Amino acid sequence: DAKTTQPNSMESNEEEPVHLPCNHSTISGTDYIHWYRQLPSQGPEYVIHGLTSNVNNRMASLAIAEDRKSSTLILHRATLRDAAVYYCIRGSYIPTFGRGTSLIVHP
Amino acid sequence: DTAVSQTPKYLVTQMGNDKSIKCEQNLGHDTMYWYKQDSKKFLKIMFSYNNKELIINETVPNRFSPKSPDKAHLNLHINSLELGDSAVYFCASSQPGQGEARSPLHFGNGTRLTVT
C-alpha cells in the first residue's frame, strides 16, 4: 500500500511547465515527501524531497500544501528527456512505490 | 563511477534453475534493498538489509534468499526459478538519517530476468 495517489498519466508540450499532483491525505507529521522518476530502461532516480516548506533544486520544485495532504512536483520547462514515470512517496520505514504518473512530453 | 551496480544486466534461464544477482554500492550507505518490477511496472520492495542484517522481508517466497557479506554488497539468490519470477530486479541503497529525514534511495539500473 503506497498510501499516495497520483494520476496514471499526464501530457505536456515541450518547454511548457508541468505540474504533477500527489495526494497523501494520511501522511504523518514526520513523514517526508519524496519524488523519484524512472526513465525508460533505467532504475528510479531521486528528484526532490520536502517536509513542510516548498523546495527547489536544479531538477524541479516541490510545492507542499499547508495541510500536507497533497503536494505538486513542478517541472518548470519540460523537455523530451523528462518523459518518465514520476513517483511520489511518503517517507517511511519501508519505501513503498505506487504506480506513479507516466509523463508524456510532446515536441 | 557507478554508485549502485548490479550484475548481470540481463539473465535468461529455464524454469527450475538456480541463479544469483549481485549488487554493490560505493556510497558508504548502511541500508540496501531489493525491489521487483513486474511487467505491469509495479515496483515492489522485497528485502531490506541494514548493516548486513535483514530488516524487511515483504512476504517473498523462501526460494529468494538475500545475502549481505558486507554492508556494501547485497546479493539475491533465487532457487527453483518459476515463470512468474520474470521481472526486472532493482537494487538500491540509502543512508537512513537520524530523526525525520531519510536520505534518498539510489538505484542500480536493474537486472532483467527472463525465465523460460
C-alpha cell at B108: 542500480
Q: What is the pLDDT of residue B59?
A: 79
The DSSP line for A42-58 is S--EEEEEESSS-EE-S
CA distance A33 to chain B (A): 10
DSSP structure class, residue B103: P
Contact criterion met (CB < 8 Å) for A95 and B94: yes
The length of chain A, given as a count of residues: 107
The DSSP line for B59-70 is S--TTEEEEEEE
C-alpha cell at B105: 534511495
Report whether pLDDT(A90) > 60: yes
Query: Measured between beta carbons, which residues in chain B are less than 8 angstroms from residue A8?
Result: none
CA distance B23 to chain A (A): 13
Handedness of CA B92, B38, A50, A69 (dihedral sign): negative
Q: Is B84 helix (H, G, I), strand (E, B) or coil?
A: helix
Residue B6's closest chain A neighbor by CA? Answer: A43
pLDDT tens across A27-79, in order? 877 788 999 999 998 999 999 999 888 999 999 999 999 999 999 999 999 99
Q: What is the pLDDT of residue A25?
A: 85
**Cis status of the peptide bond prior to A21, with omega within 30 of 0:** no
Q: What is the pLDDT of residue A96?
A: 82
Q: Report, as ranges of residue numbers, the positions in chain B whose pLDDT lies below 70.
A: 1, 97-102
Contact criterion met (CB < 8 Å) for A95 and B43: no
